[in-house]
Structure 1
């Protein structure tokens, strides 16, 4: 039996409402989780919000509310959005939960017991927006004499008493980790960046603050709150029961993959494994860093006025069409650009015209000519066998292999190839013309297509769960048959014996007409 699978997103910073980037990452994680469930693995999928830190405290002060009030309001927006986008999380996590404070203090004490924490004075550059410390050598020039972080965010000179983590002690263990586990960080370009950073030398890391109090208290030194990244990263442990020896912790830790944005690789691939080594906790198996989602080639920002509300995109295009586009349009792991026109084009050409039309034509012919029942098969031709062979390869080999690697665009490219093959098959066979000339061949062709559509719907259901469930329900495919493991015979006999009768089919993907002003 396959090992349990534990996937996490980065927990999202709720100092504002969620944007399309939050939706992109969480949809990708959801597709991975749904695929692993489809293949029979026990899955744990965690997402949530990272609610502590100076940035939240300052935003709350600016709004005249408490940090907790801001966290409660904004976290609610994230959870509502994820529910709307059919995110099948097992746990929506909030770092303000009491059990998380206990877990964060437990890992702190484990690092302290290992001799890796000490009290000193921090003087250096800090970016409130990134919640990150930067060395002078990492800064870039802004306007005039202004200094900026490598991410282009403002930095300020900070001086305060701080607890430090002996990150320098873990330089060689981290390099050994990367050497022995070359896919610990993916894609390879991110691994190269991480390795280069560590090879350049590691300085001990300031991990507490005294200039504000919105965070997890440092045990034994409650004038200090933990550096937000210590407590944020610990959420992956808290979510499976740490520090208690729970069944979930034994089953799901170490995590199978932390899915994150490329801008926070250092925290996950350098600091986090070092913290875990210090606390003597097993390391996650993989950190996968996806690229940025660009709006017409530009990174979104409030100053440019191009920040996209994913709710508006879902209103315009539908949830499943949006999910499909985001994982189909560009290689996961690289930056990708989107526009309303691009989403509409994919939805209309591939979902409405190609797959939706294939299903509509086939089921309408069965409804009209076969009394709505799965027709019998009267022997296969070479064309039938070739189509079944292609479908088996695509749905049982190519797509699972791609899903496993988080190569979503590759999986959907294979899927569309099979859809095109089915459309070529129906056009060549022309079952609508066979009713009078060769009714047995007509029934065989329609049965072949019925099975093909069912296989294709199951294979793409992690990406478009709502639409594919509606289609498979309309086709009478029982839930226990919705598996990627079966061949055509696995699908046909139970369907034929069930006596299910399909109603007149409804359109699966309506064509999208862009509004005069696209959603922003």
Structure 2
């Protein structure tokens, strides 16, 4: 099956931040898992490049909007490459092929009677690119998100008739799997219960946008244009930009992953637009929480913004991926705490997993000719480590499709803990001194090394670089494209040469604040 998933299309008003990195890393973990499960994955990310905010930012910088977009988009592409993100498509809403798709989609909605002309009057936030529910007589209204004054607007706009879809949207959001996590569904249900109102899909006097066909002077509202980028990306397969081809290239998306602040656009506006155009809605929309730092909201004014480029340079991909996916229940808000970050990475990856592999491989090399010992009794169905490994495999494969990365990480870590406990209990360093116990020691070491191999495989979606180093340390130099056969207990070949052990994870020593 085709499994298509998307990050948001990030707004290029400024350089990438930790929030966009967090979302992208989570999607990357899910994409890697789905590929290992044997699915044909189309992992989409990209950028949203239109709107008045970009127009003004570019003017303030003394460059054209296109020059501004090119510079910021280049940083996104470079950063995702540095982080090892495995996206299949990267879409820009300034691409030439995006305009004909937007026009074709709009014409379908218009032909179906879901577009009307009207006046939009009210207080508008350029930063949010949306009107706010402030009373007309409000004095000095401002946006609490962007800490900027709102602007009064009174202009002719085109409207999408969202009110036409009240019943259909109510039915859609009542489905338990459409919005995740469950607490977000209640928020959207409360919003929809208040009555859906038509929303503006065009602006006048905003030149940096796509022109609306048949309506001179109007450009598309950035949200209408940006959401359609998901479709443009799917159709970027060498074929024509034809909405009727979407079913053959992976639409509907299996998963949209977005921050909770834009859930309404993805769970209400976007499905209604698709319904109007006669296209299927996505299978699931996942709204995750926000990241704070040491209990405080991150912001330039506080000087506590975590730069993803600096994090990568000082800590590496494995440490950051593990902390964000292991420590925070995806969907909830999370707090980045530097001491906990170091402690988790060092205890989980360097100590529990890394030292387990290092000391077991060292003993195997010392006593069994630099190679994996014979399996012996380790392959028995009732062997305790085999049972723990098979349980961990099931837990990971159950957790990952629901983006329960914390649960998946814990299952892998617990397997390593069980293997450490088994090794300490069996004490091969003592048993080897007893006559006639060589086979028993070999079997014990084989079982622990096999646990390490399973750990390495299960870690691949979460921390792919560490996974590769673990497997290499076991003489396994290629990660399988699919892991069904590889996850069967006993696949580590006896007598396979073991390379000289090297630490697979360096300890984090962060003496100064990130």
Same fold by TM-score greater than 0.5: yes
Q: Distance in 1 between matches of 2:50 and 2:402?
A: 33
Shift in Å at residue 372 of structure 1?
A: 2.1
Shift in Å at residue 487 of structure 1?
A: 7.6
Kept in 2: contact 1:458–1:483 (CA 8 A):
no
Tell me what 2:45 maps to. Answer: 47
- Provide closer, same or farther for how the CA distance between residues 270 and 468 of structure 1 changes in structure 2, counting only shifts above 3 A: same
Kept in 2: contact 1:240–1:249 (CA 8 A):
no
Unaligned runs of 5+ in 2: none
Residue among 102, 109, 112 paired with 2:110: 112
Kept in 2: contact 1:384–1:448 (CA 8 A):
no
Shift in Å at residue 483 of structure 1?
A: 4.9
The alignment status of 1:161 with 2:156, answered yes or no, reads: yes
Aligned 1:152-231 pairs, distance under 5 A: 154-179=149-174, 181-231=175-225
Tell me what 2:296 maps to. Answer: 298
Tell me what 2:335 maps to. Answer: 337
Q: Distance in 2 between matches of 1:166 and 1:125?
A: 21
Tell me what 2:129 maps to. Answer: 131
Deviations 1:401-421 (A, max 9, x none): 110111111111111111111
SS of equivalent residue, structure 2 residue 45: strand
Q: Bigger shift: 441-450 or 235-244?
A: 235-244
Kept in 1: contact 2:459–2:467 (CA 8 A):
yes
Q: Bigger shift: 50-59 or 313-322?
A: 313-322
SS of equivalent residue, structure 1 residue 485: coil
Tell me what 2:280 maps to. Answer: 282
- Provide closer, same or farther for how the CA distance between residues 246 and 446 of structure 1 changes in structure 2, counting only shifts above 3 A: farther
The alignment status of 1:429 with 2:426, answered yes or no, reads: yes
Aligned 1:11-410 pairs, distance under 5 A: 11-136=9-134, 145-148=140-143, 154-179=149-174, 181-241=175-235, 243-244=241-242, 249-380=247-378, 385-395=383-393, 397-410=394-407
Kept in 2: contact 1:127–1:149 (CA 8 A):
no
- Provide closer, same or farther for how the CA distance between residues 494 and 427 of structure 1 changes in structure 2, counting only shifts above 3 A: closer
Deviations 1:271-326 (A, max 9, x none): 10110011111000000000001111222111111111011112222111100100
Q: Distance in 1 between matches of 2:276 and 2:101?
A: 15
Kept in 1: contact 2:452–2:470 (CA 8 A):
no
Q: Distance in 2 between matches of 1:177 and 1:500?
A: 54
Q: What TM-score does the superposition give when structure 2 sets the normalisation length?
A: 0.94
- Provide closer, same or farther for how the CA distance between residues 45 and 154 of structure 1 changes in structure 2, counting only shifts above 3 A: farther
Q: Distance in 2 between matches of 1:369 and 1:22?
A: 49
Q: Distance in 1 between matches of 2:225 and 2:324?
A: 30
Kept in 1: contact 2:323–2:341 (CA 8 A):
yes
Deviations 1:348-403 (A, max 9, x none): 111111101111111111222222211102324999711111111111x1111110
Shift in Å at residue 132 of structure 1?
A: 1.7
Kept in 2: contact 1:352–1:511 (CA 8 A):
yes
Q: Distance in 1 between matches of 2:198 and 2:244?
A: 32
Residue among 390, 412, 416 paired with 1:415: 412
Kept in 1: contact 2:101–2:243 (CA 8 A):
no
Q: Bigger shift: 83-92 or 242-251?
A: 242-251
Q: Distance in 1 between matches of 2:141 and 2:132?
A: 15
Shift in Å at residue 500 of structure 1?
A: 3.4
Tell me what 2:439 maps to. Answer: 440
Deviations 1:444-470 (A, max 9, x none): 011111111010110111111012112
Kept in 1: contact 2:103–2:212 (CA 8 A):
yes
SS of equivalent residue, structure 1 residue 334: coil
Q: What TM-score does the superposition give when structure 1 sets the normalisation length?
A: 0.93
Unaligned runs of 5+ in 1: none
SS of equivalent residue, structure 1 residue 451: helix
SS of equivalent residue, structure 2 residue 60: helix
Shift in Å at residue 327 of structure 1?
A: 0.7
Shift in Å at residue 151 of structure 1?
A: 7.5
SS of equivalent residue, structure 1 residue 492: coil
Kept in 2: contact 1:457–1:468 (CA 8 A):
yes
Q: Distance in 1 between matches of 2:149 and 2:392?
A: 48
